[in-house]
Amino acid sequence: MLSKSSKQGDREFKNEVRLLAPLQHRNLVKLVGFCIKGGERLLIYEYVPNTSLNHYIFDHINHEHLDWETRYNIIGGIVRGLLYLHEDSRIRVIHCDLKLSNILLGEDMNPKIADFGTARLFVKGQTQGDAKTIVGTDGYMASEYVNQSRFSVKSDVFSFGVIVLEIVSGQKIGSFWNGDNAEDLLSYVSKNI
């Protein structure tokens, strides 16, 4: 349910429905339905029993459920979902807000990319786009997106890199790192983990 205090509005809600409805992949959350009635906005997803990845990575008790093989399989599933969005689906989608809380875990800890409210659609042959407004989560956004309003497949790849570092380290890299580029991020991580 879209919270009354949410910064997302009708545009983001409709964007998620429009983009997610035609996409079918085992590593993307499946949209079952939606409802718009008065001020209420509801998205109905498939049931995903294991909540989001951040619940496991950053929780002192639940992180013990993620052995290295499981973490490796989760990373591989996220890659397959991104590859589908970027290359294999009928439409090319740039997620623009990839982070641990937007990775839901299904049965057998199968990762499913969720929350397509800020996603962007590319037309055939398009490799980058310019955003009118910057939306996303600090620390997960690539510098060319933040500084020049340019987004591309590379924007999602940068966010994925932050996710991998968080999965491996168990620390919230994205929430407190404020650098300019990938080299700064790697330098920061090597000094602080």
Return the pLDDT at 101. Answer: 93
- Token look-up 């009708």 returns 10
Percent of the chain with pLDDT over 90: 31
> Would residue 184 show up in a list of annotated catalytic residues for this protein?
no
| pLDDT tens digits along 66-84 | 899 999 999 999 999 999 9
Higher pLDDT pick, 14 / 86: 86
Return the pLDDT at 94. Answer: 87
Delimit the domains of the chain by residue range.
Answer: 48-192
Cβ atoms of 49 and 38 within 8 Å: the answer is no
Q: Which two tokens stand for residue 107?
A: 């049965």
Higher pLDDT pick, 63 / 87: 87
Asked if the model's pLDDT at residue 28 lies above 90, the reply is yes
Q: How far apart are CA 73 and CA 164, in angstroms?
A: 12
Cα 150 to Cα 31, 128, 143, 157: the distances in Å are 28, 7, 9, 14
Task: Tell me the whole-structure pTM to 2 decimals.
Answer: 0.82
Q: Of 59, 88, 97, 180, which residue is the catalytic one?
A: 97
How many CB atoms within 10 Å of residue 5?
Answer: 5
| pLDDT tens digits along 102-155 | 999 998 999 999 988 888 887 666 666 666 666 777 778 777 766 666 777 888
| Maximum CA extent, the chain | 51
In the predicted model, what is the mean pLDDT of residues 163-185? 71
Asked if the model's pLDDT at residue 16 lies above 90, the reply is no
Asked if the model's pLDDT at residue 158 lies above 60, the reply is yes
- The H or E element containing residue 17 is helix 10-20
Q: How far apart are CA 188 and CA 193, in angstroms?
A: 8
The three-class DSSP label of residue 31 is: strand
Average pLDDT, the chain: 81
- Where are the alpha helices (H) located in 21-152, listed in sequence order? 53-57, 68-83, 143-148
Overall CATH class of domain 48-192: mainly alpha
Q: How far apart are CA 55 and CA 66, in angstroms?
A: 11
Q: How far apart are CA 65 and CA 57, in angstroms?
A: 9
Q: How far apart are CA 13 and CA 34, in angstroms?
A: 10
